[in-house]
Amino acid sequence: MIEVSGLVKRYGFFEAVKGVSFKVEPGRVVGLLGPNGAGKTTIMKVLTAYHRASEGTALLNGLDVALDPLGVKRIMGYLPETVPLYLDMTVREQLGFAAMAHGIKTRHKISDAMERVIQACSLSGFEDVRINRLSKGYRQRTGLAQALIHDPEILILDEPTSGLDPNQILEIRSLIRSLAEKKTVILSTHILQEVEAMCSEVLILNEGSIAAQGSAAKIAESLQGGEKLDFVIYTDSQFSSGKWMDAEAGLGLYMAESHQVSENSRRFVVKTEIGKGDELAIKVFDWAAANGFKLLEIKREQLSMEEIFVRLTGEGIKK
């Protein structure tokens, strides 16, 4: 379990993380999401005892990172953003070094641990290749294998799929999902689909603070209902902009987009920015009926991770 409370990290006068608190239960995969400079990597560096927190505490399975850094390093596996490997070593030598560093002593146990991670990270056939000859994807796999060599209880992964091809991404995602059954995993990523694909919970960071926390569905729900409502109406009469404004006022929502399907068509597509569940859908239905429009389609859709991200991190067009 990871427990972070009131974590602050200052670099000189710059406050990179501003009082962040969160908890990751065992068997969960939590994704740290945020724009560049939001504090994701800094939080990871504090959790791995690479950096000291300026204030606050971070506990990994009850061990305080500041008071027992060695204990923390023994129970966690870390894959930094820049995969840290010795280019002059072969994959086998690198993994052997990591195994010995984690106190795996006998040759037999080291060999077993290596076999396990080589299989898990699909590195078979590359064991004796020098790392400077490996592609970026294979270096990433070696880095991940290295983080897994001692079968850690906690995994901290900074952008684990960066540089991988689509097949490798799918493999690594499924590996992380399978690992999460027994471990606590925290990962950061810029790829929003990755969060949806792998994480049971999301922590959206913005300018060093938590902007939202919870499952993607919960965060979407908290955003004023968190739904988009798209509908198509059929009208016999010409539609004026005044009518849209009336509709906007009457329904209490913002029409993000409305257009005639084609020049002579009497179909109009309307996309609302944020919906409010059943209540709004009923209002739309009543409004259409009152104005003599036929409602051809009505579609409720949850906000995508991209939309949640843009809203919470203040990027993109603010309405």
Partner 1 sequence: MTGSLVIAKREINAYFNSASAYIFMMAFLLCSGILFFFNSGFFVMNQASLRGYFSLMPLVLSVFSPALTMKFWAEEKRQGSYELLLTLPFSDLELVAGKFLASLLVVIYTLVLSLGVPLCVSMFGHFDTGPIFSEYLGAILCASAMLAVGQAVSAASNNQISAFIVSVSILLALSLLPQFAIWIKLPDFFMSAINWLSLSYHFGSFARGVVDTRDVAYFVLVSMACLFLASRFLAARKWS
Separation between Cα atoms, residue 273 and residue 262, nearest integer Å? 22
By CB under 8 A, name the one of 32, 85, 202, 219 that touches partner 1: 85
11 binds partner 1 (CB under 8 A): yes
By CB under 8 A, name the one of 87, 170, 245, 289 that touches partner 1: 87
- Per CB under 8 A, contacts with partner 1 among 38-57 are 48-52
By CB under 8 A, name the one of 33, 63, 73, 305 that touches partner 1: 73
* Residue 30, burial from CB neighbour count under 10 angstroms (0-12, 13-18, 19+): buried
141 binds partner 1 (CB under 8 A): no
Separation between Cα atoms, residue 136 and residue 79, nearest integer Å? 14
Please, what is the minimum distance in Å from the beta carbon of residue 87 to partner 1?
A: 6
Please, what is the minimum distance in Å from the beta carbon of residue 164 to partner 1?
A: 18
Closest CB to partner 1 among residues 49, 205: 49
Separation between Cα atoms, residue 149 and residue 113, nearest integer Å? 6
70 binds partner 1 (CB under 8 A): yes
83 binds partner 1 (CB under 8 A): yes
Please, what is the minimum distance in Å from the beta carbon of residue 187 to partner 1?
A: 16
Distance from chain centroid for Cα 180: 15
Longest dimension (CA), the chain: 84
By the criterion CB under 8 A, which residues form the site for partner 1? 11, 48-52, 70, 73-74, 78, 80, 82-89, 93, 97-98, 100-103, 146
